[in-house]
């Protein structure tokens, strides 16, 4: 295919025709001649180019909307005409049209996409996060939030950026973030409480089916309990067994269902309404200031956040482990007196590590074991939080496997490599 250029073509039109022809020719070329280095460079370069083409496409789309492209066909909008003409789904066409309009108010994000430094989904996440900032923030905050997220985009994908975007106000203006988070969490908790529901029906064949809606806090309590029961049963079943030693068993729906049955059958008497207990062992981490009446939100070891008022209420209940930062705490470094980490140490390591510390592993704290880092206990090492880390059973075995060497990356994650 040969590109046909016309002397009166707009530069973008000429570029589009040339790309269409040249890319078609490139795709037909044999790929088996590419070396590993060539393939790596091509993938990285083409990924950057794809973002740049999206940036150009969205600028052209905005101009097309401005001049009414496609409207003479009877289409109700340029996006609808473009969708039909290119067989792009209407949802995707309008999603890109909205992003094109949004980026007109985010020059730095648009420039990052045009330069190839951003992916399109990253640009969308950053723009949305900045637009979602509270209206009451000071004038300098949106620009600071944009710069913060653009900097993080060099190391994080769109999924991680979305998480950072939800907390970006805390990074650039902590005081405003505390007040806003307190307001938002209290409103969410009130809405969740009002929407709580439970329904169950027996199908007449020995099985019950149900649906429920509960606040995230109570969902975290239930999920953590069920995961712990699955982990306990798997340990019992694998003792002396021949399971897959390379990866932890999956949390299947059946295993979780069996764990829920166990939960119902063995729930402690203290968890019934007349005892006033809370049926969970979720760790609530809060500042001493929060415990004494401050506004700053508290964290759950499951990754969630709750308001200060809810944290103070739970600190008085059984079944909750309050971890207060800046206040009195249990001794966590027992040196050489014990070989195994205590329950208090495991709780602290779970809060710090968030699960298995091997790179790429997402095993939760309940599915991990405590490892003596740096110097093993048998070689004279101490048992402490500082010199320990959490690893899932397969990675714990691997770190002691002499056929592998390990190192820590810049994020403190363990990476393995087979010895040569």
According to the model, what pLDDT value does residue 286 have?
A: 72
DSSP string across 6-73: -TT--HHHHHHHHHHHHHHHHHTS-STT--HHHHHHHHHHHHHHHHHHHHHHHHHHHHHHHHTTTGGG
CB 245 within 8 A of CB 219: no
**Residue 319 pLDDT exceeds 70:** no
pLDDT tens, residue by residue, 252-284: 888 899 898 888 767 665 554 432 223 345 667
Cite the DSSP H helix spans in 35-167.
36-67, 78-86, 90-103, 107-115, 120-131, 141-152, 158-166
What tokens does 242 get?
């021949």
> What average pLDDT does range 303-309 have in this prediction?
76
What value does the mean pLDDT of the chain take?
Answer: 80
Tokens 């169950």, residue located: 200
Number of residues that make up the chain: 420
The pLDDT tens digits of the residues spanning 354-385 come to: 889 998 888 878 788 888 766 554 454 556 67
Strands 283-287 and 298-300: antiparallel
Nearest to 93 by CA among 77, 74, 110, 80: 80
Q: How far is CA 57 from CA 51, 81, 87, 117, 120, in A?
A: 10, 15, 16, 17, 11
Pure H helices in 294-410:
308-314, 343-353, 393-399
Report the alpha-carbon angle 312-212-347, nearest 5. Answer: 40
Q: Which of 208-212, 377-381, 389-393 has the lowest mean pLDDT?
A: 377-381
Q: How many helical (H) and strand (E) elements, i.e. helices and strands, does the chain have?
A: 16, 10
Cα separation of the two ends of the chain: 50
pLDDT beyond 60 at 246: no
Q: CA triplet 163, 353, 375: central angle to 5 degrees? A: 150
DSSP for residue 248 = P
Cβ neighbours for 169, distance < 8 A, ≥ 6 positions apart: 133, 134, 137, 141, 145, 176, 177, 180
Pairing of strands 321-325, 283-287: parallel
Give 189's contacts (C-beta < 8 A, 6+ positions apart).
215, 217, 306, 307, 310
In the structure encoding, which two tokens stand for residue 301, read together? 């070891």
Q: How far is it, in rounded angstroms, from Cα 345 to Cα 351?
A: 10
Question: Which of 109-123, 162-176, 276-290 bottoms out in mean pLDDT, i.e. has the lowest?
Answer: 276-290
**249, 237 Cβ separation under 8 angstroms:** no
Instruction: Report pTM.
Output: 0.52
With CA atoms as reference, report the closest residue to 357 among 341, 71, 349: 349
Helix (H, G, I), strand (E, B) or coil at 392: coil
How confident is the model at residue 275, as a pLDDT? 28
């Amino acid at each position: 295919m040969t590109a046909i250029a016309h002397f009166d073509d707009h530069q973008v039109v000429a570029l589009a025709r040339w790309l269409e022809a040249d890319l078609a020719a490139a795709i037909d070329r044999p790929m088996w001649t590419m070396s590993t280095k060539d393939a790596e460079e091509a993938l990285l370069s083409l990924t950057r180019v794809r973002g740049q083409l999206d940036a150009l496409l969205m600028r052209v789309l905005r101009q097309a909307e401005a001049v009414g492209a496609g409207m003479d066909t009877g289409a109700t909008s340029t996006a609808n005409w473009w969708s039909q003409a290119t067989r792009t789904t209407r949802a995707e066409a309008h999603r890109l049209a909205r992003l094109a309009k949004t980026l007109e108010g985010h020059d730095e994000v648009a420039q990052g996409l045009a330069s190839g430094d951003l992916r399109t989904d990253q640009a969308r996440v950053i723009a949305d996060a900045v637009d979602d900032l509270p209206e009451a923030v000071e004038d300098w905050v949106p620009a600071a939030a944009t710069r913060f997220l653009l900097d993080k985009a060099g190391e994080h994908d769109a999924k991680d950026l979305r998480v950072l975007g939800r907390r970006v106000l805390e990074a650039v203006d902590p005081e405003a973030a505390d007040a806003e988070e307190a307001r938002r969490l209290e409103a969410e908790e009130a809405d969740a409480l009002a929407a709580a529901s439970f329904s169950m029906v027996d199908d007449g064949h020995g099985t019950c089916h149900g649906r429920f809606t509960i606040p995230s806090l109570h969902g975290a309590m239930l999920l953590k309990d069920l995961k712990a029961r699955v982990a306990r049963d798997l340990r019992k079943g694998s003792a002396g067994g021949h399971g897959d030693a390379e990866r932890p068993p999956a949390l299947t729906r059946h295993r979780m269902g069996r764990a829920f049955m166990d939960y119902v059958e063995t729930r402690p008497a203290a968890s019934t309404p007349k005892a006033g207990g809370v049926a969970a062992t979720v760790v609530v981490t809060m500042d001493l200031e929060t415990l004494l009446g401050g506004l700053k939100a508290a964290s759950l070891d499951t990754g969630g956040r709750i308001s200060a008022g809810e944290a103070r209420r739970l600190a008085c209940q059984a079944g909750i482990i309050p971890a207060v930062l800046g206040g009195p705490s249990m001794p966590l470094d027992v040196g050489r007196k014990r070989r195994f980490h205590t329950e208090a140490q495991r709780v602290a390591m779970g809060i710090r590590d968030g699960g298995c510390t091997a790179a790429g592993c997402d095993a939760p704290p309940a599915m991990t074991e405590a490892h003596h880092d740096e110097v093993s206990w048998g070689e004279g090492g101490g048992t402490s939080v500082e010199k320990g880390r959490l690893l899932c059973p397969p990675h714990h075995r691997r770190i002691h496997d002499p056929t592998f060497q390990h190192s820590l990356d810049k994020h403190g994650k363990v990476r393995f490599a087979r010895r040569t």
